[in-house]
Amino acid sequence: MSFIRCHNLTRIYRRGEVEIRPLDSLHLEIERGEFLVLMGPSGSGKTTLLNLIAGIDQATGGELIIDGQNIAQLSRNQLAAWRSSHVGYIFQLYNLIPVLTAYENVELPLLLHDLPARDRHERVTAALTLAGIADRHEHFPRQLSGGQEQRVAIARAIVTQPRILVADEPTGDLDKSSAEATLQLLQRLNRELDTTLIMVTHDPNAARYGTRCLHLEKGRLVEETSDAHS
């Protein structure tokens, strides 16, 4: 059985009397350790699908089975607990807390877990090292470049050792050089940690780093292509 399985997955929003379906009876299977890229025009359902898989949003209908568990049936509290243990999220605009150092930003997710301070320190140091930003651990976000901020954000996403890593336009706010470095890092983390990685992007060059590219339009899968690693 696939690691992630979407069956008739549907998300409906209502604005007054208007019904909006960013996802409409979607069928999709994702294998463990895959680097899946989601592409499509704005409003196609990419981020909605990403947020459902990440446990940030809840489906209106259908099944979303991850490692044998249908997370579409979890309550919001259950979903929050599941998300903190299973998912790391990388945002386009980093979402770092300005008054915390790089180290403290990365440590933040671990404070939700019952871990001794020594274990937290080891995990934070390991995550910062993997992300190539350990030498900036005492710096605040305002003292970092955009590429360095994204590396801190990636370290924060992997510090809980999640099985799923999701990234929403992770290079959208970066210059070309920083974007390439970020994509190379994500690709390496996918390979070395065997983490299932799902990335939303509008950039065809970024899509080359995935093992598979999936195209969405109006909430439905319209095309799939296989892309070799760069």
- In this structure, is residue 220 part of a structural domain? yes
| Statement: residue 16 has pLDDT above 90 | no
CA quadruple 50, 164, 96, 115: dihedral positive or negative?
A: positive
Using DSSP bridges, classify how beta strands 196-200 and 35-39 pair: parallel, antiparallel or unpaired: parallel
Which of 163, 32, 151 is CA-nearest to residue 103? 151
- In this structure, is residue 116 part of a structural domain? yes
pTM of the predicted protein model: 0.91
Domain of residue 119, CATH code = 3.40.50.300
Banded pLDDT at 230 (limits 50, 70, 90): very low
- In this structure, is residue 122 part of a structural domain? yes
pLDDT tens string 140-162: 999 999 999 999 999 999 999 99
Give the pLDDT mean for 125-138.
97
Say which range, 12-21, 127-136, 158-167, has the weakest mean pLDDT.
Answer: 12-21
- In this structure, is residue 115 part of a structural domain? yes
The pLDDT score that the predictor gives to residue 112 is 87
> Are the C-beta atoms of residues 140 and 101 closer than 8 Å to each other?
yes
Which of 174, 134, 177 is CA-nearest to residue 152? 134
| H-type alpha helices, 20-110 | 46-53, 76-86, 102-107
The pLDDT score that the predictor gives to residue 223 is 64
Give the pLDDT mean for 192-201.
94
Q: Look up the domain containing 51 and give its range.
A: 32-58+75-225
Number of domains present in the structure of the chain: 1
The pLDDT score that the predictor gives to residue 228 is 45
